[in-house]
Amino acid sequence: MVRQLGTPRHEALRRLLKEKRKNAGISQAELGLRLGWSQRTIGKIETGEKRVTAVEMIEIGEALDFDPAAALRRVAKAAKR
């Protein structure tokens, strides 16, 4: 299995998700409430300790009002640099 945590793409994704949350002006705890997840889970995503599944990415996009497909394209481009 390919190592994903800590790779350039994983780092770009976690930074993007943290940026989207901060731009929405909400805390990790508030995002957790919106998703039915714990603040700890959001924290682990943002620090890179937890991978994000495709379904979770869609849910986060809905909770923060962004297009997850566009966000993933941005991550893919950023990781190529």
Question: Is 81's pLDDT higher than 80?
Answer: no
Q: What is the pTM of this model?
A: 0.87
| pLDDT of res. 49 | 92
List of domains in the chain: 8-80 (1.10.260.40)
Tens digit of each residue's pLDDT (9 = 90 or more) over 34-74: 999 999 999 999 999 999 999 999 999 999 999 999 999 99
Structural tokens at position 77: 């481009």
C-alpha dist (Å) from residue 80 to 8, 12, 64, 65, 73: 8, 10, 26, 26, 11
In the numeric block, the tokens 């790779």 are attached to: 7
Looking at residue 14, the DSSP 8-state letter turns out to be H
Four-CA torsion 50, 74, 30, 32, nearest 10 degrees: -30
